[in-house]
Structure 1
Amino acid sequence: MRQRKHTPLSGWIRRSAQQRGGDHGRPHPRADAPTARFRGATRGAGRGPGRSAKVPDLMVIAEEDADDTAKVVNSRDVLMVVEVVFRTNSLTDIRDKLHDYPEMGIPLYVVVDPRKDKRTVTVHSDPSRGPDGLRYRKEVPYAFGDTVTAGRWTLDTSSLKSYPADW
């Protein structure tokens, strides 16, 4: 398995969510592995109707929906997805997921941007249909160091690190 440079950050998010998520949700044990993905229906400009597979940095599912042997999770079972901005997942990729995740039934989408000039965590929530289609209607930005509220989870970001200046 190829190690991703932001895997420690994903691990921190996973541990933080476990500590604060209570008994109702836990990160999928394979959330940072390349084989962990979820499938859901998407439709939209340039995509056409169909099924789409995503491999998030972290996904949270309810305990009763957890199957430690599964390689694919139904997107309707996913409670929250966290993505970390990195060179290989450009902001275009993040924007595409911002469009796809509400259509796949993902209620919370958290984007962690550890670049030196950003150092932000943004929580996207309240997916609903409007004149511009199905979109997240609420976006709450946080800075590293803030306590982030994402649904029923609270994440302490005080220990998050930014990427090196030469990244």
Structure 2
Amino acid sequence: MTIAPDDARRDARLYQVMRDFVSSMDDTLPGKFEITKEGIVHDMMSPARPHELTVLRVRKRLEEVLPEDLVAHTGTPDVEDAPEGIMRHPDVMVIAEADMEGEGSFDPRTLLAAIEVVSHSNPDNDWVSKMRDYPLLRVPVYVIFDPRTASGAVLSDIHPTPTGPRYATRKDFVYGEDITIGEWTVSTSGLPQYT
């Protein structure tokens, strides 16, 4: 699809309006705001304990195998590509510590992997929207942990398609198996499930 200059300016203005709104809501409303190609996503529910425990265990397991200059980061800021009109906040990001320096959002091209734990209240955000957005952001590996089903997937190998870049390789797993995220292997045993 070709975007004329007027369309590009309009898209940039719309993104800035959404970005300003999200920034103004940070401490006002509960939950997490993200910006996708379709608009603003608001996950109103605070993460459940199984979600947060999964994030913690995955982060700790990754940090045991990552080289010293890489981290499994679970905090802020967001990952943002304003020209694409996307701002996401992965549950865990594998990134070089040096790439965390500076101000503002992280450049998505510095991420080595984005890891998400499926929300009980909005699973399509992880399984559909982020599966589309992360290859657009050029994040080379996207991993989904789904406590609803005790399973997940590792997606990699971005390739062009008529509808935009997509992951070409998908390796499904069930909890209890070892998985490879980029160059690093971690266990998925002992991860909690939603009840």
Normalising by the residue count of structure 1, what TM-score does the alignment of the two structures yield? 0.80
Mapped partners of 2:132, 2:174: distance in 1: 23
Query: Residue 112 of structure 1: CA displacement?
Result: 0.2
Deviation at 1:17, TM superposition (A): 0.7
Per the TM alignment, residue 93 of structure 1 is displaced from its structure 2 partner at its CA by 4.4
- Residues 37, 73 of structure 1: 8 Å contact kept: yes
Matched, 1:39 2:84: no
Q: Structure 1 unaligned runs (5+)?
A: 42-48
Which letter maps to 2:89? V
Q: Are 1:106 and 2:139 counterparts?
A: yes
Q: Percent identity?
A: 31
Q: Deviations over 1:123-152 (max 9, x none)?
A: 000011134531000000011000011111
Tell me, in whole angstroms, the C-alpha distance in 2 between the residues paired with 1:85 and 1:71: 26
Q: Contact 1:40/1:76 (CA < 8 Å) preserved in 2? A: no
How far the C-alpha of 1:22 sits from its partner, in A, is: 1.9
Equivalent in 48, 73, 77 of residue 106 of structure 2:
73
- Match of 1:107, SS state, is coil
Per-residue deviation, 1:52: 1.1
Query: What residue number does 1:44 align with?
Result: none
Whose strand fraction is larger, Structure 1's or Structure 2's? 1
The 1:89–1:55 alpha-carbon spacing in structure 2 relative to 1, beyond 3 Å, is farther
Distance, in Å, in 1 between the alignment partners of 2:90 and 2:81 is 13
- Report how far residue 92 of structure 1 moved: 4.5
Residue 17 of structure 2 aligns with which residue?
Answer: none
Cα separation, 2, equivalents of 1:11 and 1:134: 30
TM-score of the aligned structures, taking structure 2 as reference length? 0.69
Which has more helix, going by share of residues?
Answer: 2
Name the larger-Rg structure: 2
User: How far, CA to CA, are the matches of 1:64 and 1:87 in structure 2?
Assistant: 34
Distance 2:80 2:131 in 1: 15
Runs of 4+ in structure 1 deviating by more than 6 angstroms, as ranges, are none
- Residues 71 and 145 of structure 1: CA distance in aligned 2, closer, same or farther (over 3 Å): farther
2 CA distance for matches of 1:23 and 1:8? 24
1:111 match: secondary structure: strand
RMSD over aligned CA atoms reads: 2.1
Would you say how many aligned residue pairs link Structure 1 and Structure 2? 150
What does residue range 8-157 of structure 1 map to in structure 2 within 5 Å? 8-28=53-73, 31=74, 33=75, 35-40=76-81, 50-67=84-101, 70=103, 72-115=105-148, 118-157=149-188
Q: Distance in 2 between matches of 1:70 and 1:156?
A: 34
- Indicate the SS of the match to 1:73: coil
Q: What is the CA distance between 1:4 and its match in structure 2? A: 2.2
